[in-house]
Amino acid sequence: PGSTTIASLLLMLSFAVLGASTALLAGASAPAGANGVVRPRAAVLLAEAAATTDEQKASGISWDSHQYVDQAPESLIRDDDLQGANQDMRRRFEENCRRAQNAICKAVSELDGAEFREDVWTRPGGGGGISRVLCNGNVFEKAGCSLSVVYGSMPQDALQSATSRGADRAKGYAPGERVPFFACGLSSVMHPRNPMAPTMHFNYRYFETDGGVWWFGGGSDITPAYLFEEDIAHFHQTYKDVCDTHDPEYYARFKKWADEYFTIKHRGETRGLGGIFFDDQNDRDPEAIFAFSKECLDSVVPAYLPLVAKHKDDSFTQQQKEWQLMRRGRYVEFNLVYDRGTVFGLKTGGRIESILMSLPETARWEYSHEPAAGSPEAEIMDAFKTPREWAK
């Protein structure tokens, strides 16, 4: 056992994400097909990959359909005159994501002392993205912040599987008909070098179908390797204050949602110590939800960066670094097996480097590792297994 580069695991885990079942992965062969022939496991995986490629072609986008450009266009939103399309919201959501991306990357660069690399791309059918990644920094091993604007189509069952509460995303379409959609979002993951400084993730997004169905989703969450209760309370309180401004019921609902969503089911523990998470939000005026998403994005820097600044120069041992890498291993497991955004990006032909930007550069898996009783590692494991209340 030891540290492992994420790239060496990626191909194997991606096949699992793209549809191979646990039974197929565990056995030597797949169940018999219609002709009674039992196919070897490798053949099944290749068939799954081929089916995914066919789906990407049908959607109008694929892993290699992007075109790199030297400079980001003024907007990645295309001019649509579709009846029911909220062009104004599409444009303003993208504008807000770009504004937040600039502000967050500037603050992170000022703390780290290193600059982000920027990649910009477009697609022939509209949309594109701006990915910014800081690697091998002074404070951050890897920090990424990526804007995506996507136009595509998906089968109804695939689109439905991305929802949290059974929202009817295929409204207006006949059974079996593909659903054209628009999506815009800003996502980020930041992995500090120091194991005393927590990892942070956020994602805020807006979806529409050409059938006139719309919804917002998003959230911010924190993943420490070591527990400093005042830090977690600060992060949660920042977002509770935002929630309370918009709806006094938001925080309790969205905090619980985050605890449930970020559970690594096969481990019986959470990825981190939560925050807020919401999806399928269309129960009120879109302007109200847009304002909430905007304030959540504006709270990323004050909620998170002071914690990194506080711990970036803390002393640590090799054993503590190895524990951080093991917790990063859990991060990888969740993202490649359960995270709906990762699965959605892979199935819809998103840009691979942007989809997998969230993964740390290094992680660690130790066989049957158990923290010593009474240790700091055991203390935070208790919090991972039994979610707590952090905000007042």
Phi, psi for 364 (deg, rounded to 5):
-145, 140
**Rounded to a whole number, what is the distance in angstroms from the first to the last CA of the chain?**
41
- CA distances 126 to 79, 284, 365, Å, are 9, 29, 41
**Could you tell me if 377 and 371 are in contact, meaning their C-beta atoms sit under 8 angstroms apart?**
yes
Token pair listed for 313: 């120069």
Q: Among candidates 350, 23, 312, which has minimal Cα distance to 154?
A: 350
Q: Which amino acid is at 306?
A: P
| E strand residue ranges, the chain | 2-5, 67-69, 117-122, 128-135, 140-154, 179-192, 199-209, 214-223, 263-264, 269-270, 275-281, 362-365
**Distance, CA of 300 to CA of 194 (rounded, Å):** 20
**Distance, CA of 203 to CA of 148 (rounded, Å):** 11
Catalytic residues: 201
User: What is the CA 222 to chain-centroid distance, rounded?
Assistant: 13
User: What is the CA 247 to chain-centroid distance, rounded?
Assistant: 25
**Antiparallel, parallel or unpaired: β 263-264 and 214-223:** unpaired
Phi, psi for 84 (deg, rounded to 5):
95, -10
**Could you tell me if 257 and 238 are in contact, meaning their C-beta atoms sit under 8 angstroms apart?**
no
Identify the DSSP state of 283.
S
Residues 6+ apart with CB under 8 A from 102: none
**Distance, CA of 312 to CA of 315 (rounded, Å):** 9
